Structure 1
Amino acid sequence: MPTTIQTGMLSTRWRHLPHQLSNLQISAEDFPGTVVDQIMTAYTDATRRFLSPPPCGCNRVIKILQLCFYLADPYLSFIAHAVGDAMKIGIPEYLEFAATGYVACPSEAELVLFKQHFMSFFHACPGPFSLLTKLMLRNLSFEDSDIPNILNTCNKLKLLSLRSCQMGQASVLKIDAPCLELVGVELIDFWCEQVELISAPKLLELVYDSWCGENPPVYFLYVPQLVRVYFTSPALSWQTPFTLSECLSGNKNLSMVHLNFCTQMIWIEPEDPRQLTPIFNKLRDAHLYNIFAECDLNWTMFILEGAPSLENFYLSRHSCELSKTEDSAEKTNVLWEPSRIEGT
């Protein structure tokens, strides 16, 4: 893409080149500059050039459009207009926005500011957002109503990724999207009290990496097609272990569970395998990663016994200390006594 941009700008003979491309991925990271204004000025100029109507008046079809940009004004309004004009010519099969706050370690005030920038952009181009296939947001601070409002507009959204984002204290992220074709949700360093998947009938995969709220981190209510769950997090001092049956209750089609403990306290509690069998009846793969070195492994047997169709069972212990902070929970050995749990 950078080479194409340069040649398209340097040669009048090749001015038609941007309009012959059907797959466009334009990322702010590919543009030179030492400050965000330099980068976004070049980025918006290139985006407008690539999305402008063909000068020859010929038909132009964009099948894939991926825009990765920084949340900086006044450039967002230029991007909104460029995308809106492109949608008048034709609707892409795949449309992705990846919007990032441009500060590596933003303050609380900057997280709020980036969210305000994004919501202004969101309200400025409801048409393109109604056609959005994937949305990735980084470094934003949301209010309770923001994400539900976004989901209500993004009618064709399939993938939602929220990275290094947060909500207010004691806020719950509620995803209630019965009419969406949402197949994947990714939460990376997403800070909230809890996540409730109220209704996501097409959801196939959930990834939650690093949470700070109470356990269990997610309640799955109506997610009938869910097949893959990835949980990765170091346990914190205020979090107590939870049972998988409590968290995953109601799921009948799980085929893979990936649990990464980051060499800290084990945050799941062994339970009667019979409680898990209705949930793990179709489970094929179980991954238990980065169990701290001193921890006994016998407790993992309750997963083996609760998953009658299991084909692959992965265990790993790590001798090095990973992800330890002053808020880390105290590590204790996990004991499992089948005779007590099963009542025999």
Structure 2
Amino acid sequence: MKNKNGRPRKSALNEAAAGNKNGRRRRNLNATQKATRNEAAASNANDDRLSKLPNDLLLNILERVDTLDAIRACILSRQMLKLPTMLSRFYLSVSSIPGLQAKPPRAVTLKEVLGINSALSHVTDNILSTRSPEVTISKLKIRFVLLPDDSLAIGRSVARAMATQKLGAAEFEIVTKKRYNLCSSIDFLNFAKQFNDLVGACPHAFAGLTSLWLENMRFGELDIPNILSTCKLLEYLRLTHCDSGIHSVLQVEHTQLVELEIDQGKFQRVELICLPKLQRLTYNNWFSCEDPMYFGFVPQLSKLSLIKTATRSDKSLKLSQLLANVPSVGDLRLDFGSEKIWVLPECPKLLRPVLSKLQHVNLDHLPEGCDLAWTMFILEAAPSLKELCITVWDHWCIMVKDKEFREKYGYCEKADVKWKPYAPDFKHKNLAKLTIYGFQPDDNFMRYVRCVVEHAINITEISLSDRKGCRRCGDLDPSRYPRTAGERKQTADELGLASGVVVHFRS
């Protein structure tokens, strides 16, 4: 419709405008719907690609994560619902408590611990009772809290699985409802009693275990030997804050044990009486002021790690005496906790018989500022040594800093360990690599590198790295590590090494 001037009336214009708007809305709506359909199609395509993966590949993926997470993933896909019964590797852990995996973790209440532990026992029973007995369980690892009812249910479920199914490696990690620093002496005794009761109620489950990790338990004198005699197939044993009483003696005998770790026990002495298959041993912070270990029949022991934060009263060890019966050690790690050096340099004539097969040495957490020359006694006494790695680091997170506390409990101030070569012109023919963490271009480090190269005539590689990083404590003293190309070239030139030696700077 037009007015007298021949122009369209306003109502017609409004209708046309409304029509245009509606047209735009329809076009926008169509575009949105099309985009939504495309996204849905892409999502379906992705779902289809996942569901089309072969079962063996899906199982390989699922077996790399916590089993509870794998089950949750399978519930979301109809195609994957049957996969949990086909898994061959299981890892069921109380660490799946909501909050423990948060960053930073929040405080978890005892009620939550009890709830998740109970759920864990039910899930364990359901998984092991519903799976096909024809599929071998290559590995079953369960980490649970030592609570009588739940622990008993888990133990019985595993025992039935061992009796009715093909089961390879079976592992228990048993934690207590209280952390070590909150435990009383009564708690340690009660936790040990609860564990002994569990072993007595489920002997078949423990008879089939290949790995066991315990914490916060104080056993009777014969308890640990009895546990070892029950766990006949045990290959790995770790005891954290476990002992048989203060200043007790632990005697270990086992035909299958391959690896043993002892953390923070109050043993006066650990005696390895007869362990014909033992290959790896770690002892962390022994309680005794005397030699912490006796090595009996351990013919295959090849890797030894000793860790100690020592005070003035702690005895300095003589490796020639400590390792007199174990000349088979090829890999040795000594960790000093950034405090006192607790090993004595010795005459190579005494040491060479016990270090003759030594090929790899790690000296960790050497205190900063101390002369490094003393470490050369190992090079002088170990003719087969191929790699030497030292870490020089005042790690403030693990050090005691309060002066009054240090004085009261005998923590030492930094002091150099004295060493002089018994044969000043000795030559080492097998050392190929020297690695230093915490390198600084000062006289101490530069002199040490030159000393090693002077005696190790066939060394080809030197790796120099900055201090190891720690987000919690940082470095109180600024690092002077060479970072620019110019600084590194200057440091390499000042070392004055032969052209055949390659120096790597790794910041």
Given the alignment, which residue of 101, 105, 109 partners 2:186?
109
Checking the alignment, whether the CA contact within 8 Å between 1:194 and 1:214 is kept in structure 2 is: no
Post-superposition offset of 1:319: 4.2
SS of the equivalent of 1:63 reads strand
Q: 5+ residue gaps in structure 2?
A: 1-66, 99-107, 424-507
Given the alignment, which residue of 333, 344, 349 partners 1:269?
344
Match of 2:242 in 1: 165
Distance 2:155 2:394 in 1: 50
Given the alignment, which residue of 362, 372, 391 partners 1:316?
391
Is 1:145 the counterpart of 2:222? The answer is yes
Given the alignment, which residue of 79, 86, 92 partners 1:20?
86
SS of the equivalent of 2:369 reads coil
Q: 5+ residue gaps in structure 1?
A: none
SS of the equivalent of 1:45 reads helix
Query: What value does the CA root-mean-square deviation take over the aligned residues?
Result: 2.4
Post-superposition offset of 1:8: 7.1
Match of 1:301 in 2: 376
Distance 1:41 1:6 in 2: 18
Match of 2:199 in 1: 122
SS of the equivalent of 2:265 reads coil
Checking the alignment, whether the CA contact within 8 Å between 1:31 and 1:43 is kept in structure 2 is: no
Q: TM-score, normalised by structure 1?
A: 0.90
Is 1:283 the counterpart of 2:358? The answer is yes
Distance 2:232 2:212 in 1: 12
- Summarize the Cα distance change of 1:218–1:329 in structure 2 as closer, same or farther, 3 Å threshold: farther
Identity of aligned residues (%): 32
Greater helix percent: which structure?
A: 2
Given the alignment, which residue of 122, 125, 129 partners 1:45?
122
Q: Which has the higher contact order (CA 8 A, sep 6+)?
A: 1
- Summarize the Cα distance change of 1:53–1:217 in structure 2 as closer, same or farther, 3 Å threshold: same
Given the alignment, which residue of 418, 428, 446 partners 1:335?
418
Post-superposition offset of 1:77: 1.4
SS of the equivalent of 1:164 reads strand
Say which is worse superposed, 317-326 or 26-35, in terms of deviation. 317-326
Checking the alignment, whether the CA contact within 8 Å between 2:308 and 2:336 is kept in structure 1 is: yes
Given the alignment, which residue of 308, 316, 324 partners 1:249?
324
- Summarize the Cα distance change of 1:338–1:11 in structure 2 as closer, same or farther, 3 Å threshold: closer
Checking the alignment, whether the CA contact within 8 Å between 1:2 and 1:31 is kept in structure 2 is: no
Post-superposition offset of 1:244: 0.6
Match of 2:232 in 1: 155
Match of 2:309 in 1: 234
Say which is worse superposed, 323-332 or 108-117, in terms of deviation. 323-332
SS of the equivalent of 2:305 reads strand
Distance 1:201 1:84 in 2: 28
Post-superposition offset of 1:133: 0.6
- Summarize the Cα distance change of 1:185–1:153 in structure 2 as closer, same or farther, 3 Å threshold: same
Is 1:204 the counterpart of 2:279? The answer is yes
* Number of residue pairs the alignment of both structures matches: 336
Deviations 1:165-208 (A, max 9, x none): 2331220111122xx22111011222211111111111111011
Distance 2:369 2:223 in 1: 43
Post-superposition offset of 1:237: 3.7
Checking the alignment, whether the CA contact within 8 Å between 1:259 and 1:288 is kept in structure 2 is: yes
Q: TM-score, normalised by structure 2?
A: 0.62
Deviations 1:285-338 (A, max 9, x none): 111122222322222221111101111112232245543364344243211244
Looking at CA atoms only, which structure, 1 or 2, has the larger radius of gyration? 2
Distance 2:263 2:219 in 1: 15
Is 1:30 the counterpart of 2:96? The answer is yes
- Summarize the Cα distance change of 1:40–1:128 in structure 2 as closer, same or farther, 3 Å threshold: same
- Summarize the Cα distance change of 1:316–1:53 in structure 2 as closer, same or farther, 3 Å threshold: closer
Checking the alignment, whether the CA contact within 8 Å between 1:284 and 1:310 is kept in structure 2 is: yes
Letter of the 2:142 counterpart:
L
Post-superposition offset of 1:227: 0.7
Given the alignment, which residue of 115, 124, 136 partners 1:61?
136
SS of the equivalent of 2:362 reads strand
Checking the alignment, whether the CA contact within 8 Å between 2:249 and 2:270 is kept in structure 1 is: yes
Distance 1:260 1:69 in 2: 30
- Summarize the Cα distance change of 1:234–1:59 in structure 2 as closer, same or farther, 3 Å threshold: same
Match of 2:149 in 1: 74
Deviations 1:83-139 (A, max 9, x none): 122122124111101101121232222222211111111111111211111111112
Distance 1:79 1:273 in 2: 53
SS of the equivalent of 1:29 reads helix
Checking the alignment, whether the CA contact within 8 Å between 2:133 and 2:165 is kept in structure 1 is: no
Distance 2:194 2:76 in 1: 33
SS of the equivalent of 2:363 reads strand
- Summarize the Cα distance change of 1:65–1:58 in structure 2 as closer, same or farther, 3 Å threshold: closer
Deviations 1:1-54 (A, max 9, x none): 223444678999987543222211111111447422211111111111111144
Checking the alignment, whether the CA contact within 8 Å between 1:263 and 1:292 is kept in structure 2 is: yes
SS of the equivalent of 1:207 reads strand
Say which is worse superposed, 27-36 or 157-166, in terms of deviation. 27-36
Say which is worse superposed, 163-172 or 32-41, in terms of deviation. 32-41
